[in-house]
Amino acid sequence: MDPKQNRVDLIIDKYGANKEKLVQILLDVQDEYRWLSKSTLERCSKRLDVPLAYVYNVATFYKHFSLVPKGRHSMHVCVGTACHVRGAERLIDRVGQATGIKPGETTADDKFSLDTVNCLGCCALGPVMVADDEYLSNPTTKDIERIVQEAE
């Protein structure tokens, strides 16, 4: 058996193959693999006995889920209104200079993914980004380059 599929089954088993726990199951799989593959969604559909279309709807409804592979490290730039007026687009450009990627993309070495979010809840610090769990207020290109260099 595909070891990845086996791991997905273990996660499903952890929740007793309970269809009411679909979101939690997908969250655990997303945390483990950084994305939800087609085979994962099909496995959840089969094991939980829910239509595949329903699993896809859940997986596409929540922004936390990704249907494409993501990098080992995440960068999220806030493009909410407060950050937008304070220069979110310029911040995205600086992240792009340091990583070579645009929002929605992952670096070729699978090290970083860049995405946008609508509000991180700290508008007064805008423009804001989060690199993994580190919140950064209006970081310079050098700040972002430091993060890129320090990340493994």
Q: How far is the CB of 84 from ligand FES (least distance, A)?
A: 7
37 vs 87: CA distance, rounded Å: 34
Q: Which is nearer to ligand FES, 3 or 121 (CB)?
A: 121
Report whether 151 contacts 111 (CB < 8 A). Answer: yes
If one counts every other C-beta atom within 10 angstroms of the C-beta of residue 108, the result is 9
Indicate the residue among 12 and 128 with the shorter CB distance to ligand FES. 128
CB of 94 to ligand FES, least distance (A): 16
> How many angstroms separate the CA atoms of 67 and 30, rounded?
9
The sign of the torsion formed by the CA atoms of 126, 117, 100, 71 equals: positive
- Least distance in Å: CB of 122 to ligand FES? 5
User: Cβ-closest residue to ligand FES?
Assistant: 80
CB closer to ligand FES, 119 vs 151:
119
Chain residues that interact with ligand FES, rule: CB under 6 A: 78, 80-83, 119-123, 126, 128
The distance of closest approach from Cβ of residue 127 to ligand FES in the complex, given in angstroms and rounded to an integer, is 7
Tell me whether residue 11 or residue 127 sits nearer to ligand FES (CB atom).
Answer: 127
Q: Alpha carbon of 120 to those of 22, 76, 79, 83, 126: distances in Å?
A: 26, 9, 9, 10, 9
